Chain A
Amino acid sequence: MEELLTILNDVDDSIDWEHEEGLIDNRILDSFGVISLVAELDETFDIEIEASEIIPQNFNSVQAIYAMVKRLQEN
């Protein structure tokens, strides 16, 4: 989780990643932010996030992002 938070803060340090639960729904993270984040996650965690994974449920909170990363690492 800490590694994930470091990446997230690197993408945008003005967002309260730990407490925000509507990153997509509240438009805190826009589509350009999402694709930057996906690129970082792919590289750091050695996963391949497919387009089908880019849905609000997977990116609305740090917990959701973490769960998606874990799931893709296990697959």
Chain B
Amino acid sequence: MAYHEVTYLFLFLPLVLIAYQIVPQKRRWCVLLLAGYAFFWSFSKSLVLVLMATSMFTHYIGLWLERVKEDGDKKKQKWILFFGVFVLLAVLGYLKYANFFVENVNGLLTAVGKSGMALETKKIAVPIGISFYTLQAIGYMADVYWGKIPAERHLGKVALFLGFFPQIMEGPIAMYSQTADALWSGESLKSENLAQGSIRILWGLFKKMIIADRLYYLVTEVFDHYENYSGAIVIVAAVSYAVQLYMEFSGCMDIVIGSGQMFGVRLPENFNQPFASKSAAEFWRRWHMTLGVWFKTYVFYPVSVSPFMRKWNKFGKKHVGKYMTKLVGSAIALFPVWLFNGLWHGPQWNYIFYGMYYFVILLLEVACEPLKEKFYAKTGTSETTGWWNVLRIAKTWIIIFTGELFFRANTLTAGFSMFASIFRGFAPERLWDGTLLRMGLDLADYSIIIAGCIVVGIVGHLREKKKLSLDQIAGMRLPARWGLYYALIFAVILFGAYGVGYQQVDLIYAGF
């Protein structure tokens, strides 16, 4: 029962909305919590117990931290936080990474001729969304530790924060202060929230079903049979995957945020026109924003102000100068962020490589900052010069598409092989010799994809210029507003990639 499926959209969500509205306000949180567990059950069955246990544990750690805080024992608080984070990461690590670890150890043993000592891998079932709710739980504990929020007394409120059904599969990763109160308040349904939520859901379906689910065929064909392709086709596949991932993940976020809005809960945004970014750093402020904010808040800044970094700053300033102090300091703070970012996506070497790829690029951007300033001073250009920004966006696109090639590749070796094949045989004629029409897509499909991307691009541009928002749509005249609703509904019905000739495509980020 994923968010784009009929069962969710026409059965589960309406039923929860009705149940929510008819139950007294004081008990509405129970409806949302039960709905969360039912939704979770539909994917992970009895593993819902892991989510329940995580909620109880997180709630308990919060209360423990608060109790010790009253005694003023700072050291003990730190140990409790470490303990809480360690347990959550240990559960995540075991369920998600144990086999990866064993496989790599076995690989090493074989390499040194000790294959007889190889360990056995186990079949481990991983609860859906564990990577998302674990980060939310760690964030909650850290916020209580820092005194940003008081520990929550009611277990149900913490459980609901971790188990709100629209967020379970793909986030967004919220902080407790962002959603908990709205979830708990049980506000009655409002027509404007239902209308705005519906249009957001329709927009998400537009992106997912019209564009992403078509590109899936091309992407799967090239990445799964990469030995048969090179040059221009590989570039097309890498670009297609970046677009597919964006349309799918951001489309799913539209459905998720729209679902939340129907209940009056404003979930944090996860995307903000990422393809308009002029640097890799900006891209990560616009793409999967809640993951970026989480890493910045709970890893980057804590590492930046750690005793080790303080020592380095003092030492560096005396011995290596300001520039190197900043560069090395940035590297120390960035490395764990990008190592964990890569690992967070899953137990595969290409994800780790993907994290390290951005680590190097972001560090290069920091390193080149003085050079950039000199260039600006010498040429009279600036961050507002039009042609220069076009070049910067083009450069960022190349960085994004290359990164996504490795991210999607079936293995790291396959990623390198595909990347090398771009330069081996460019073969541009394969773009028009009919090769692209043998990938499960016909000319009509390509036309729909391009038209869909143009529509998304225009909407993105208007949103970037603050000329289009859900509030503005709500303020439109009745015929225009309903015209828009119907246009979206008919677009999805007529051009959605579903039914005969298409297959249902699973949500990519639900796998993380």
Q: Which residues of A contact B (CB under 8 A)?
A: 27, 30-32, 34-36, 38-39, 42-43, 48-52, 54
Contacts and interface: CB of A to CB of B under 8 A. Distances in A.
Given A30-B281, A52-B147, A35 B314 contact: no
Contacts of A42: 305, 310, 313
B183 to A, nearest CB: 23
B149 to A, nearest CB: 11
24 contacts: A27-B285, A31-B296, A31-B300, A32-B326, A32-B330, A32-B366, A35-B300, A35-B301, A35-B304, A35-B329, A35-B333, A36-B326, A36-B329, A38-B305, A42-B305, A43-B314, A50-B146, A50-B305, A51-B297, A51-B302, A51-B304, A52-B146, A52-B147, A54-B301
Interface in B296-342: 296-297, 300-302, 304-305, 309-310, 313-314, 317, 325-326, 329-330, 333
A27 B304 CA distance: 19
Contacts of A35: 300-301, 304-305, 329-330, 333
* Chain B residues touching A, majority SS: helix
A32 B366 CA distance: 8
B386 to A, nearest CB: 20
Nearest to B312: A39
Q: Which of A39, A50, A54 has the most chain B CB within a 10 Å cutoff?
A: A39
Nearest to A49: B305
A35 B285 CA distance: 17
A54 B305 contact: yes
B13 to A, nearest CB: 34
A50 B313 CA distance: 15
Nearest to B317: A43
Contacts of A39: 309-310, 313, 325, 329
Nearest to A55: B148
A60 to B, nearest CB: 16
A27 to B, nearest CB: 8
A49 B146 CA distance: 12
A13 to B, nearest CB: 11
Given A30-B281, A50-B146, A52-B148, A38 B314 contact: no
A36 B148 CA distance: 23
A50 B301 CA distance: 9
A30 B292 CA distance: 13
Contacts of A31: 296, 300-301
Interface in B189-220: none
Nearest to B329: A35
B285 to A, nearest CB: 8
A32 B296 CA distance: 11
Contacts of B366: 32
Contacts of A51: 146, 297, 301-302, 304-305
Contacts of B301: 31, 34-35, 51, 54
Closest 9 CB pairs of A and B: A52-B146, A39-B313, A35-B304, A51-B302, A51-B301, A54-B301, A51-B305, A36-B326, A32-B330
Given A35-B300, A39-B309, A39-B313, 13 more contacts: A31-B296, A31-B301, A32-B326, A36-B329, A38-B304, A39-B310, A39-B329, A42-B305, A43-B314, A48-B310, A49-B305, A51-B304, A54-B301
A35 B326 CA distance: 9
B495 to A, nearest CB: 37
A20 B314 CA distance: 29
Contacts of B314: 43
A48 B307 CA distance: 10
Nearest to B282: A27
Nearest to B326: A36
A32 B146 CA distance: 22
A39 B330 CA distance: 12
A30 B326 CA distance: 13
A43 B300 contact: no
Contacts of A48: 305, 310
B321 to A, nearest CB: 13
